[in-house]
Chain A
């Protein structure tokens, strides 16, 4: 029997008791009606609390999102800006060094010209050996200097690639953030989709990157420079 029919039955029975002058039966019928009413109220309150609970869970999600959107996104943007800057600087430094190395090849060309001149002199019937000696000496000096310059240019070129390490570390952090945002959004979708679904455990474990990582100006606590580090270690007796 549904709720309405039950209610109609109870009302009719109460009315019949009233008409019959059976006060005791009437009171008992009315009590029953009131109890049923209270039961409904409890069911309603329970429904409300369940709804509230879900709201709270959803709000908790929003807090995570707010943290991601408010702090971590701008933080990631700064890191990406920084990556742009260091990669650009490294590219320019590399190109400068390549130009420098190209300049050194001019010296190598000159050495080759001098060697050819020496060869010509040697081919003469009475070669001026003193002149050849001077030429050779000049060539040797020039080559030695060029070799040294080229070597140091190459070292600097290799070192200019170190940005990759720093940029790589920062990109790893940004990837972690993107993954967290993705998880939070998926969870939010799931919650809003299944209204009566049991609340899932909070999907975001707070990002615990224990280490501060590469220092980026304007983000995080002030970082030490090499000079600061040296001074600190000296203080500690190093």
Chain B
């Protein structure tokens, strides 16, 4: 996998953004940009060619699920893989995210190992589909 891919990390808690950024750096992904909710992420996604989005669900402004739906609804960026990393752990929510086209779902608190597994799985599927 291209370790230089552009990744957007969206979470309203700056500590969580730092943690995800650190974990990604450990896995070799260093080209990371941060946004503090869906609303501030949206113009970044519109402007820059991001290869991957990691987003929280519960955020003010625009939630992660809305961001996901917006991404899937915009032809230019619809194919961007989205990994949801969230404390929302209800069955209905996981199903809603799946129906909205999420590529992976991680429940907080999570481990570095879980993040690695989900990333590997997502990229493996993308490679298989290509």
Interface of A toward B, CB cutoff 8 Å = 151, 155, 158-159, 161-166, 168-169, 211-215, 221, 223-226, 228-229, 232-233, 236, 238
Contacts and interface: CB of A to CB of B under 8 A. Distances in A.
Contacts of A229: 89, 94, 105-107
B87 A213 contact: yes
Contacts of A151: 26
Contacts of A225: 89, 107
Contacts, number: 91
Interface of B: 11, 13, 15-16, 18-19, 22-23, 26, 57-58, 63, 87-91, 93-95, 98, 103-112, 114
B58 A211 contact: yes
Identify whether the interface residues of A are mostly helix, strand, loop, or mixed.
helix
3 closest residue pairs by CB, A with B: A223-B89, A214-B87, A165-B16
A168 B11 CA distance: 12
B71 to A, nearest CB: 17
B87 A165 contact: yes
Contact of B15 (A161, A224, A236, A238): A161
B108 A162 contact: yes
Contacts of A211: 57-58, 63, 88, 93
A224 to B, nearest CB: 5
B22 A233 contact: no
Contact of A162 (B26, B90, B109): B109
Nearest to A156: B112
A11 to B, nearest CB: 74
A97 to B, nearest CB: 14
Given A233-B105, A238-B98, A161 B90 contact: no
Contacts of A163: 109
Contacts of B16: 162, 164-165
B83 to A, nearest CB: 12
Contact of B19 (A159, A169, A212, A213): A159
Given A166-B108, A233-B105, A224 B94 contact: yes
Given A158-B19, A224-B107, A233-B98, A165 B90 contact: no
A168 B13 contact: yes
Contacts of B22: 155, 158-159
B13 A164 contact: yes
A225 B91 CA distance: 10
Nearest to A237: B98
B87 A162 contact: no
Contacts of A215: 87, 89
Contacts of B18: 158, 161
B23 A165 contact: no
A161 B89 CA distance: 20
Given A158-B23, A212-B90, 4 more contacts: A169-B58, A214-B87, A221-B90, A224-B91
A224 B89 contact: yes
